[in-house]
A and B are shown apart, each in its own frame.
Chain A
Amino acid sequence: MKQSPQMKVIQEQMKPGVLTLQGFLGSDTRSLSEILDADAAEVRRLGTTHQAIADRMRYFRKEGEAGLGEFTTVDSYFDVKVESVRGKIPSPFGGPGLYAKTNTTLLNKQLNRSLVFTDINIHLIGEHGFYEGKGSPFRLEPRALVEILEIPREAQQVEIPR
């Protein structure tokens, strides 16, 4: 389906080799608008919002920083490791802000499931509802995020993403 010119530009920024080596779209052949729409619907079905997911990710990242690159325990059964490499990357959606290349690795010991996400993932999810294309190494399934991070279902309100 055709996209507005702005979306096309953003999709170009997400291709491999432009901002990061593997890009943000993986092997997904859908257009960016379709990916965003599909994930937005999934998040709605899970009874939560992009903002809630991003806030929870941010919480673990902050708590995990105390480990200075080693695993540390957060909330008694989460093992979190926050490590950075040098450099910053801009958001493919444009606009201000450079995001540190920080990886947060999280292990939910009760469910025995783990996740890895980066600082820019937190921004892309919270501000744009973008979970990366299927097949991308950093693709985060909304369902997996909600289950592993234990994000509660919200009552009614769903905020309108931009």
Chain B
Amino acid sequence: MLPALITSVGAITGISAFLAVLMVIADATIANYGEVKITINDEKEFVVKGGKPLLGTLMEQEIFIPSACGGRGSCGLCKVKVEKGAGQYLPTELPWISEEEKAENIRLSCQLKVKEDMSIRIPDELFSVKEFQATVAKIRDLTHDIKEVTFDLNEPSEISIRAGQFVQLRVPEYELTDEPVYRAYSAASVPSDKRHVELEIRYVPNGICTTFVHKYLKEGDPVVFNGPYGEFFLRDTEREIICIAGGSGMAPIKSILLDMAEKGSNRRTRYFFGARSKRDLFLLDEMKELEERLPNFRFIPALSAPEPEDNWDGETGLITDVVAKHMESGDNTEAYLCGSPGMIDACVKVLTDKGVPEALIYYDKFG
């Protein structure tokens, strides 16, 4: 009985141990990609551990490729040109890559794994995107559903941002979520204030980030965000400026206006702010102050559904109608829009009808 017991236990142990060792060796050899070199834009070189997707590998080296879905392969934003070192296209990449992009070797960096030395090409602006650790300095209610949040930068302690650009705020796991998500918000603060970033965040009932900011975030809490991103900024010309944005869309416009005021710009500027009723108006004092600092600037709010008790005597109706009413001709004008796709389409139509060339209409596209 005893020898049989020993033999059987020994045999099982032996076989299991042998297979376990085999798997450890396999893991260390087959699944181990060792160290590889990534060369970026023929200048920067990094030696990294292979085996992980390119997006995450680059993030570890503090290169932040834009991504809205956190690497799940569902937003298509993390495209990178890979000149050397990529294998075949993965089925998860193909839906996002057009024929022209295939010819350029554009890959989806969250799906492509780093297995050998690579040479990639990314826009230079991405090198200035950094991850920031900051503290919440102030939270202020602007309206019943919009909060103004100001961050005090710790590490790095300064940010170089252009008026109109945005940052990606990291929402950590909290009561209702399992993993962090990133959401983009335009900076409303003036770029010369390099130690702070101010955001305007509107509460959306089913939103992961806005619920976090409105219900859980407190002054003094630490936050993480990366940036700056975006091509929405004021072009350096002498043309007239028309801005159209409502609600939290005011953020990039405010940043642009503050920047202009500091630099003493003389360009004729009009900002059409569309809202539903009086309780959706905010920062009216700041706008008045800007009108004083910028003699050629006018702030024109328009309410589409004023309540009787508002006693509103300003402009009423749809913002597109108000713009059409105030605009003369569109030559020598550029426009900066921030809002929902529906509103932007409607505004573009009004502006082009008035003669503003479509190429001179800029809008905040990430939203």
- Chain A residues within 8 Å of B, Cβ to Cβ: 13, 15-18, 20-22, 65, 68-70, 82-88, 90-91, 94-96, 98, 100-102, 137-138
CA distance A17 to B204 in the complex (A): 14
CA distance A20 to B68 in the complex (A): 13
Q: Which residue of B lies closest to A93 (CB)?
A: B74
Q: Which residue of B lies closest to A100 (CB)?
A: B341
Assess the A84–B76 pair: CB atoms within 8 A: no
Q: Which of B73, B75, B183, B340 has the most CB of A within 10 A?
A: B340
For A95, the chain B residues whose CB sits under 8 A away are 74, 95
Assess the B318–A68 pair: CB atoms within 8 A: yes
Assess the A86–B248 pair: CB atoms within 8 A: yes
**Contacts A86-B249, A96-B96, A137-B206 supplied; 9 other A-B pairs, CB < 8 Å:** A20-B206, A20-B207, A21-B206, A68-B304, A69-B343, A70-B305, A84-B339, A90-B68, A90-B69
Does B208 touch A at the CB level, under 8 Å? yes
For B343, the chain A residues whose CB sits under 8 A away are 68-69, 84
Does B184 touch A at the CB level, under 8 Å? yes
CA distance A95 to B207 in the complex (A): 22
Does B178 touch A at the CB level, under 8 Å? yes
Assess the B73–A69 pair: CB atoms within 8 A: no
CA distance A18 to B96 in the complex (A): 22
Size class of the B contact interface (CB-based, 8 Å): 35 or more
Q: Which of B202, B204, B320 has the most CB of A within 10 A?
A: B204
Does B192 touch A at the CB level, under 8 Å? no
Partner of A90, one of B75, B177, B202, B305: B75
For B202, the chain A residues whose CB sits under 8 A away are 85-86
Instruction: Pull 20 A–B residue pairs with CB atoms less than 8 Å apart, ordered by A.
Output: A13-B72, A18-B179, A20-B207, A21-B206, A21-B207, A68-B318, A68-B319, A70-B305, A70-B318, A82-B342, A84-B339, A86-B366, A87-B184, A88-B68, A94-B72, A94-B74, A98-B68, A98-B74, A98-B75, A137-B206
For A16, the chain B residues whose CB sits under 8 A away are 176-177
Q: Which residue of A lies closest to B246 (CB)?
A: A69
For B96, the chain A residues whose CB sits under 8 A away are 96
CA distance A83 to B74 in the complex (A): 24
A-B interface, 7 closest residue pairs, ranked by CB to CB distance from nearest: A84-B340, A90-B74, A17-B177, A86-B367, A96-B95, A65-B342, A85-B204
Q: Given A68-B342, A85-B207, is A94 in contact with B177 using a C-beta cutoff of 8 Å?
A: no
Assess the B248–A68 pair: CB atoms within 8 A: no
User: How many residue pairs, one in A and one in B, have C-beta atoms under 8 Å apart?
Assistant: 93
For A17, the chain B residues whose CB sits under 8 A away are 176-178, 208
For A88, the chain B residues whose CB sits under 8 A away are 68, 75, 367
CA distance A137 to B72 in the complex (A): 25
**Shortest CB–CB separation between residue B34 and chain A, in angstroms?**
29
Q: Which of A16, A65, A86, A90 has the most CB of B within 10 A?
A: A86
CA distance A91 to B69 in the complex (A): 10
**Shortest CB–CB separation between residue A79 and chain B, in angstroms?**
14
For A101, the chain B residues whose CB sits under 8 A away are 204, 207
Residues 170 to 193 of chain B near chain A (Cβ within 8 Å) = 176-179, 183-184
CA distance A74 to B327 in the complex (A): 30
Assess the B276–A87 pair: CB atoms within 8 A: no
Residues 337 to 367 of chain B near chain A (Cβ within 8 Å) = 339-343, 346, 366-367
Residues 259 to 301 of chain B near chain A (Cβ within 8 Å) = 274, 276
